Amino acid sequence: MVHLIGTYECKADAKGRLMMPVAFKKQLSPVLQDGFVLKRSVFQPCLELYPMAEWNQMMQKINKLNRFKKKNNDFIRRFTAGVKIVEIDAAGRLLIPKDLVGFAGITKELVLSSAVNIIEVWDKDQYEKVIDDVAVDFADLAEEVMGFDDDISID
């Protein structure tokens, strides 16, 4: 499992290509040759870049869903909508397909942000807005998510 660290700003060219930050390329070097999956985020107007091994683990979980339940089929369809296999080229660039550029509202300025085992790809203005909105409630959120009672251990 990959554990990524960092948030980096970069630019997209007119064709939707971005130069992968060196720090991410170093962290991803063991899995670069396997390729990536780029998809729409479920909760935010951004994209999620999965190393192929991480995507395959996610698909193993999803494949266990009973497809004779309509809500499961609906979830799978929406979760995989717009999914694309992408690679980082020899020049270190990643091409974002036009439909995904449109979904995320990506202009020229981008933010690539680690989210444990994936990278979120944001339009810079959208990212700043979301971070500012969340900052107000972050203390409450942190307490709710991570503020375990003293007698509960997380193993």
In this structure, are strands 109-115 and 36-40 parallel, antiparallel, or unpaired?
Answer: unpaired
The predicted structure's pLDDT at residue 154: 56
| Residue found under tokens 């700043």 | 128
In which element (H, E) is residue 50 found? strand 47-51
The predicted structure's pLDDT at residue 115: 93
Q: List domains and CATH numbers for the chain.
A: 7-124 (3.40.1550.20)
Residue 67: how many other CB atoms lie within 10 Å: 9
Write out the chain's pLDDT in tens, 155 residues.
679 999 999 999 989 999 999 999 999 988 989 999 999 999 899 999 999 999 999 999 999 999 999 999 999 999 999 999 999 998 999 999 999 999 999 999 999 999 999 999 999 999 999 888 766 677 777 788 887 765 555 55
Q: Residue 119 in 3-state DSSP?
A: strand
